Every structure is written in C-alpha cells, then in structure tokens.
Amino acid sequence: MRIARFSIDGNVAFGAVEGEPSTPGSTEGLVVDVIKGVPFADFELSGTKVPLDKVRLLPPVLPSKVVAIGRNYAAHAAELGHEVPTAPWAFFKPSTSVIGPGDPIVYPPFSQEVHHEAELAVVIGRLCREVPRERVKDVILGFTCANDVTARDTQQTEKQWARAKGFDSSCPLGPWIETGLDLAAASDLAVTATVNGELRQAGRTNQMINSIEDLIVNITEAMTLLPGDVLLTGTPAGVGPLHPGDEVAVTIEGIGTLTNKVISRG
C-alpha cells in the first residue's frame, strides 16, 4: 500500500494511493482513498476517493527526528576523499528541515555549494528501543524517498554538521510511504537522482555497507524511535551541486519519485 499525507480544502488527512500514473513521476491517473484514522494503528479505508492531482501532497510523516547515516556507500565516501567508517556514523536532521514533494528547497544564505543526496528512507511504525535483529521488520511501517540536501562547503568547514545538514528545507521526503516492500526487497532497489532531467546518481541499496537491520539495531541501542521517525540510509556516489532554478528528482525503484525545485531565499 502507498500511504500519502495530503491537504484538501484546508484539511489534512492520510490516504491510500491507488492506480498507476500515466507517466513516471506524475499524479495523473492516481486517486487517494481517505484513511479513517492514522497509519500507525489499525485503520480503515473510507471509500471516499479523490484524484491525486486535486490534492496537495505533504511530507508523508512529521517525524520527531530524522536519524541519518553518513558514508554508508563506499563509492560515495571515496568520491569525497573520506574513509569508510568502521561503524554506522549517525547524525540528525531536525523536524524543521522536512518538506514534501513539490515544496521548494531554499538555498541557505551561508552556503555557496549545496549538493543533492538521493537516499532510501525508512519510516518507523511503532515506538521501539533496543530492537533485536529478528524484530526489525516489525518496527518498520514502510519506505519512502529522501534527499539529504547538504551545504557541502559548510560541512567541510564546521566540525558539527548541524547547519550543513539541518537547515530549513534540507530534508525533502515523499511522495508517499510504500508499505508493500519487505526487507529483502528494500535491500536491493535502484536509487537515482536527476537534476533538470540529467542523471546524476545511480546506485542500488545492495551497495550499502551497513544494512537496514544493522542501522536500526545500532540506533535503537542508543535511543527510542517513535512512530513516524525517519531513518536515512546513506547515498550512493554521484552527489553534486544544486543551484537556484534547478529541479531535482529522486527516484527509488518500487516506491516513486520525489521532485523539488531549488529557489533563492526571498
């Protein structure tokens, strides 16, 4: 099931997206069946269906925190001249960094070099801590697309990544949560990024150094994850610059396409 969060006529709701798009990345031909309740508990479909192009898609969740993993693809670490960490390297992106499909990425005034980073995102479905490997599948609601937008020059000059990775609009998520993928499927998906239609990144999640299970076990040893929290699993090689006026699209096999435009701060 594809679960979207959307607004229509001033109201916000979750819904199940049905149908297939007429063209890749479009909403034409899709409808959303409004959910009674929230996807983190038992829910029913209302049967009230709305064309998806008549609603505004929002970030599929509002996480209390986004836990991101750095240098989880060897080729990406190499392209930046970094060694591969010996253990998962986690950092945070604040909830205020999250935007949805179609929302603008606002170029931060303190940076001259902002990069895209296409990533598979894991959406947590239940409160969990100290999750054993065999229970990881039970705490995952589903998967979505993410763009770990990064002020690369700031990242290189500041010891902490809080500003470089956490500025407003630096965490696009969407277009929806795909709940129909199991861990085996999610561990071998194509991940791509295009800028203005030009292919920039092309990798597969089977290139991750630390698996999804590894990451959730490692993170929940230290902290409690809440329903709707998001884990970013790292980016493949090919990261590169974004400029105001660019349109960046992250596509993940079996999930969909997340598209955002880059604008200057007004």
Q: Is pLDDT at 22 greater than 80 in this prediction? A: no
Q: Is pLDDT at 136 greater than 90 in this prediction? A: yes
Which of 77-81, 179-183, 223-227 shows the lowest per-residue confidence on average (mean pLDDT)? Answer: 77-81
**pLDDT recorded at residue 237:** 96
**pLDDT recorded at residue 85:** 86
- pLDDT bin (cut points 50, 70, 90) of residue 201 is very high
Give which of 182, 188, 203 is closest to 251, Cα–Cα.
Answer: 203
Give per-residue pLDDT as tens, 84-126. Answer: 888 999 999 999 999 999 999 999 999 999 999 999 999 999 9
Q: Is pLDDT at 12 greater than 80 in this prediction? A: yes
Q: Kindly report the three-state secondary structure assignment for every residue of 89-134.
A: EEEEECHHHEECCCCCEECCCCCCCEEECEEEEEEECCCECCCCHH
- pLDDT bin (cut points 50, 70, 90) of residue 228 is very high
Model-level pTM?
A: 0.97
Question: In the chain, what are the domains?
Answer: 2-57 (2.30.30.370), 66-263 (3.90.850.10)
